[in-house]
């Protein structure tokens, strides 16, 4: 008998090929918190991967997330794939792509930046390079590369 560590989901969204160690940051970046979810969310960390050695996986049951919404995952996990599952089958599959503008997701790493001073604005960045992600703060002009440390 095959033993599944985590069973397949019937309906929902699977985010696969997450850079190992980034699963919780992925949940954070897409805004999945305990209180705003009505279904089961499974997080698999450090799963063997043919491509990358190890990976993380996130499964959100009974909810189809908008692929556009998920592009921001690419900031911390550029090779992640999105699978929309319907009745146990992969109905749609997408590769995440870093958006051109990143707003309200990441804070500026420059402690002297005005966006870190309790002003009524959301931090906003222009994406200078997508792989690896490189963001330029539209306010202070500082370039940041270690995006995962600065997720709001």
Partner 1 sequence: MSSSYKGADLVAIRDFSRDQIEHIMDLAEKMVPIALGQERSDLLAGYVQSSLFFEPSTRTRLSFASAMARLGGATLGFDQPGGSSVQKGETLADTIKMVDSYSDVIVLRHHSEGSARLAAYFAEKPVINAGDGAGQHPTQTILDLFTIRKAKGKIDGVNVALVGDLKYGRTAHSLAEALALFGAELMFVAPANLQMPKETIRAVDKLGGKPKTMTSIEQAVPEADVLYITRIQKERFPDLAEYQKVAGSYKINNALLKDAKTELSIMHPLPRVDEIHPDVDLSPHALYFQQAFNGVPVRMAILALLLGVIE
140 binds partner 1 (CB under 8 A): yes
Give dist(CA 130, CA 59) in Å, integer.
25
Judging by beta carbons within 10 Å of its beta carbon (0-12, 13-18, 19+), is residue 119 exposed, middle or buried? exposed
121 binds partner 1 (CB under 8 A): yes
- Is 151 in a helix, a strand, or coil? strand
150 binds partner 1 (CB under 8 A): no
* Nearest distance, CB of residue 112 and partner 1, angstroms: 5
List binders of partner 1 among 83-112 (CB under 8 A).
Answer: 108, 110, 112
32 binds partner 1 (CB under 8 A): no
77 binds partner 1 (CB under 8 A): no
Return the residue of 37, 142, 150, 151 that touches partner 1, per CB under 8 A: 142
Which strands sit side by side in the sheet containing 143-144, from one edge to the other? 101-103, 124-129, 134-137, 143-144
151 binds partner 1 (CB under 8 A): no
* Nearest distance, CB of residue 114 and partner 1, angstroms: 4
Nearer to partner 1, 2 or 117 (CB): 117
What pairs with residue 18 in β-bridges?
56
Give dist(CA 142, CA 152) in Å, integer.
17
Answer for the pair 67, 52: CB distance below 8 angstroms, yes or no. Answer: no
Contact residues for partner 1 (CB under 8 A)?
108, 110, 112-115, 117-121, 137-143
């Amino acid at each position: 008998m095959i033993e599944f560590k985590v069973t397949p989901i019937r309906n929902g969204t699977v985010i696969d090929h997450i850079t190992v160690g980034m699963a919780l940051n992925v949940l954070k970046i897409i805004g999945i918190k305990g209180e705003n979810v009505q279904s089961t969310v499974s997080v698999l960390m450090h799963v063997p991967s043919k491509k990358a050695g190890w990976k993380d996986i996130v499964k959100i049951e009974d909810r189809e997330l908008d692929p556009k919404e998920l592009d921001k995952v690419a900031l911390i996990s550029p090779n992640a794939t999105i699978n929309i599952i319907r009745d146990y089958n992969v109905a749609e599959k997408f590769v995440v792509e870093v958006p051109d503008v990143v707003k309200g997701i990441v804070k500026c790493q420059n402690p002297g930046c005005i966006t870190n001073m309790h002003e009524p604005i959301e931090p906003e960045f222009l994406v200078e390079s997508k792989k690896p992600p490189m963001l330029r703060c539209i306010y202070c002009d500082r370039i940041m590369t270690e995006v995962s440390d600065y997720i709001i």
